[in-house]
Amino acid sequence: MELSGDLKCLSPAELRLLFRRNDSGIIKTTGLAEGYMQANVAILPNHLADDFEAFCQSNPASLPLLYRSQSGETSCPPLARHADISPADTLLMTDMSQYCVYEKGQLMKTVSSLQSYTDQARNASDQQDVHHGHQWSDMVCFYLGCSFGFEGRLKTSGVPIRNVEQGRNVSMYRTAVPCIPAGVFSCPVVVSMRPVPAEKLDAAVEVSHLSPLSHGAPIHIGEPAVLGILDLCRPDYGDRLELQPGDVPVFWACGVTAIQAIRSTKPSLAFSHSPGSMFLTDIPDSPTSTISTPSDSRNTPYIEPNPGLIPLCILVSHKPLLYSLASQRAVSRIRDLEKIIGEDPGQRGIQVLCTQDELLRSSLALSHSSSVAITTGFPTHYMHSPPDVTDGPPGAIAMATMLLSLGKQVTMVTDRRALEMNQALIDEAVKTGVLKTAIPLVTFEDCGPDAALHFLCHHGDPSKPRYDHLVAIERSGRAEDGNYYNMRGVNIKHLVDPIDDLFIAAKDIPGIITTGIGDGGNELGMGKLKETVKNLMPNGTLIACDVPADYAITAGVSNWGGYAVACGLYLLHTCPSHQRYLKKGLGEETPAPQEQLRDWIANLPSVDKEESFLSTLVRFGIRSGKTAHLAMEVDGLTFHPTHSDIITRLLEVTQGSTSQNP
């Protein structure tokens, strides 16, 4: 329905008066009362009220509680003026455009007023509500924030409001994401979707983040199937919206989750707003607004958000389309990590390969992952046994132990020739406390055209991947001619298994992201930078890896890239904005428990742990890459002071404060 300019100019109080008189012709409130908060409403029997309040507190993004009434109260003084009026003309009963009536969880009808329910209760001789034995005085009203409130500020920020442009209600969907249950209440999260141009995503995120009681920042941006939404053209509530070229679907937690809770719990009688027909409050939707509540602690005051927590929106993946959120401060620190590892004390000229934010995007993708496969191994010293180098395994173990600490599954993939040695290295790393716990170590063999697909996916089914992220660090990469070369241009193909095939196959499997970490351009995954390597690196036309990764992290020494990934993961998991996004807004927004935080800190790389593991490598006969020295050095750089200094500086950036990082 196209709204007239006159209606758009009316205040919330004036619009409520029109609803009360039932002469407005308005059904949906999107685009109305711009700049003011709107509210979802759920009305439940008293005996369910405490459980529902706990349900709201456990799912604050979906159900931001603005006000809980007393039993039988139909006004809401903190939210709207003129609330102290007689029961015959009560605010809640008449001041929304449309209400839903539920009996045993079933929608029975929609009505323009609930006045008849209070009238029947007053007129019943036994003072009992004729509907299922409930008195109206036994009903409790919950007012929950709504995303319609911040649409005005979205518009002011240059974000088009497609639902208003198209004269439609916003699209709302049941997801496959379960709410955190509380008492008798449990149901899936419901989300609203607004198409947003990709270049306006940061503005949309910032505006909504600053409205935490209107659902706050989005809980998902990108592919609908990630939420279990199979068809955007078929919303469960509201209207279908048309995406314009360049639009990205953006999903906010939605107060219609309360309706799902009513339908799942099946109370004998309950009421709600009709989706899209909201209660219009007198509270401005502004970061500086407050809601003055009575002394009853059950009502939720507005808490002004910390500007330092404003998130940025970063593209993580095209397959499936996925954006992630992280605070500006966390992003800045990860960029500082990237600058440190991009230093080139060995003067190899690697700065030409450095690309900003590859570390950030890879760390975000790993943060979203659940099962990660890591591979390393560069047998450059073909004349020695073992031929491997001290660059690679320390960085791989540093990433693995942080991922394990964060609850991810981790698998190591290695060459058959190095299986026994790498198993012994893993065992020793666990024994000395460098690695949190033992991890599976596997090999990959090319035993047919579908070998990589069967390795990566259960039963070779691309819809059922075993891993959602592959990481190669200082892993020899296949060149354009099919051979594998060290930096001197020596072919070492006879020492390398075709693990590159996994990265090639992953390109066609939705849901698997790949990262390559290298310091010369001949490492697996650095094919993303192939042309630069060919043109600017020594022997580049011969040695350049031909196999790309989604993200190519360049470091002065590859191990440093692994250390930086571990630090980046720590920063993201101590970033409230990112954690809220990861958890889809579920659970109370509280810092990680101190015990968990201590475990994460303990699993960061440290000078002591990395020195210990390097000494283990030397004891196993593994040599420095550049010099072939059997000594405490990596790529010709001694552990002290070069590597120890880099680790120290990475930790200083990562642990810049003793409290959790915004």
What is the spatial distance between Cα 20 and Cα 184, in angstroms, rounded to a whole number?
Answer: 34
Q: How confident is the model at residue 277 (pLDDT cuts 50, 70, 90)?
A: confident
- In this structure, the strands spanning 36-45 and 139-146 are antiparallel
What's the rounded Cα separation, in Å, for the pair 265 and 275? 18
Q: What percent of the chain has pLDDT over 70?
A: 90
Task: Say what the pLDDT of residue 289 is.
Answer: 56
According to DSSP, residue 529 is labeled: G
Give the DSSP letter of residue 418: G
371 phi/psi in degrees, rounded to 5: -140, 120
Q: For residue 362, what is the enclosing H or E element?
A: helix 358-368
Check pLDDT > 90 for residue 136. no
Mean pLDDT confidence for 372-392: 97
- The letter for the amino acid at 506 is A
- Per-residue pLDDT band for 573 (boundaries 50, 70, 90) equals very high
| Other CB atoms within 10 A of residue 68 CB | 22
For range 575-595, the mean pLDDT = 90
What span, in angstroms and rounded, lies between the C-alpha atoms of 565 and 562? 5
**Among candidates 608, 603, 617, which has minimal Cα distance to 640?**
608
Nearest to 564 by CA among 520, 533, 610, 595: 610
CB 257, CB 55: distance < 8 Å: no
Give the pLDDT score at 290: 56
In this predicted structure, the answer to whether residue 340 has a pLDDT above a threshold of 90 is yes
Distance from C-alpha of 587 to C-alpha of 181, rounded to nearest angstrom: 10
Q: What is the pLDDT of residue 128?
A: 42
- Is a pLDDT exceeding 50 seen at residue 87? no
HEC assignment per residue over 286-319: CCCCCCCCCCCCCCCCCCCCCHHHCEEEEEEEEC
Determine phi and psi for 516, rounding to 5 degrees: -120, 135
- The pLDDT assigned to 276 comes to 86
Per-residue pLDDT at 265 exceeds 60: yes
Cβ atoms of 634 and 647 within 8 Å: the answer is no
Of 62, 63, 2, give the one whose Cα is nearest residue 27.
Answer: 2
Per-residue model confidence (pLDDT) at position 154: 94
259 near 271, Cβ under 8 Å? no
Residue 245: pLDDT band by 50, 70, 90 thresholds?
very high
Could you report the per-residue pLDDT of 588-608, keeping only the tens digit for each?
777 888 999 999 999 999 999
- Span 481-491, average pLDDT: 97
Overall average pLDDT of the 6-20 stretch: 81
Identify the band that residue 208 occupies on the pLDDT scale cut at 50, 70 and 90. very high
Higher local confidence (pLDDT), 114 or 556: 556
Res. 125 pLDDT band, cuts 50 70 90:
very low
pLDDT band of residue 287 (cuts 50, 70, 90) is low
Q: What is the pLDDT of residues 609-661, one digit of tens each?
A: 999 999 999 999 999 999 999 999 999 999 999 999 999 999 999 998 544 55
Q: Render 146-161 in DSSP notation, one character per residue.
A: EGGGGHHHHHHTT---
- H-run or E-run covering 249: strand 247-253
**What local confidence, expressed as pLDDT, does residue 121 receive?**
46
Distance from the Cα of residue 174 to its chain's centroid: 19
pLDDT at 485: 97
The yes-or-no verdict on residue 64 having pLDDT over 70 is yes
Determine the pLDDT at residue 92.
58
Q: Average of pLDDT values for 471-495?
A: 97
What pLDDT is stored for residue 74 in this prediction? 79
Q: What mean pLDDT value characterizes the chain?
A: 90
Which residue stretches of 499-654 are H helix? Answer: 500-506, 530-536, 540-543, 558-573, 576-582, 594-602, 607-619, 644-654
Of 108-122, 180-194, 274-288, 367-381, the range with the lowest mean pLDDT is 108-122
